[in-house]
A = this chain, B = another copy of it.
């Protein structure tokens, strides 16, 4: 609420054009709206067409069903991450638009047409066992109306597939790189591609990977410039941030 708008309102009060009650309501809402707006910015629940997202882990099927029922009242797309087939069974009784991705363990309900973006996001992954995380990136980016190109299984053992596609990947606006174990792939991608690289360490592995720690530390200490990192296994976070950058 800028100064000119503020003057305007007070002028209206002074001039009797606005009732005191309306003024009170307006000012009482001042902070609220500001913060609801923040909330909107964050959850985007009220902007038409903007996806509404539910983090499914640690929520009961009942809770998720309840949240989805509530969300169904809006015209927004809906994304439930870290969910299960059981939840899907419940939800598709509410709507037959629900789609379950059994690799990403996501449930999406698309109500709007897919508006393909001008730019695209490249999603690069090291191995097939990283796919649950990689697919979470893709499902997230797509529900936010981004065009996504997959370059899977291009880790060290198949690094030539990365080099084969390096010129293709350079055309993306932002690159998400998913890798477990030593987490070396983002360094290589970051060294070859002059675009922002979002690195996602995965907990896939055993022994000295200590639940994703090896990949995480490797990515954080990457010698390549232009690389930043999200939490271990946080495919949603990477997809969300990639969408944000892709749409700048």
Contact = CB atoms under 8 A, between A and B. Distances in A.
Given A27-B6, A42-B192, A218-B184, A210 B208 contact: no
Contact of A160 (B36, B174, B181, B187): B36
Contacts of A245: 196, 245, 248
Secondary structure class of chain A's binding surface, majority of residues: helix
Interface in A194-247: 194-196, 198, 201, 203-234, 236-238, 240-241, 244-245
A114 interface: no
Nearest to A206: B233
A62 interface: no
Contacts of A160: 31-32, 34-36, 38-39
A205 B231 CA distance: 10
A234 B205 CA distance: 11
A128 interface: yes
Contact of A6 (B28, B34, B196, B208): B28
A28 B183 CA distance: 30
Nearest to A2: B167
A126 to B, nearest CB: 7
A70 to B, nearest CB: 14
Interface stretch (A11-19, A84-92, A93-101, A104-112): A11-19
A214 to B, nearest CB: 4
A51 to B, nearest CB: 11
A221 B188 CA distance: 17
Contact of A128 (B63, B181, B188, B227): B63
A14 B11 contact: no
Contacts of A201: 207
Nearest to A185: B184
B190 A39 contact: no
Most chain-B Cβ atoms within 10 A of its Cβ — which of A41, A155, A211? A41
5 contacts: A13-B13, A183-B218, A184-B222, A194-B244, A248-B248
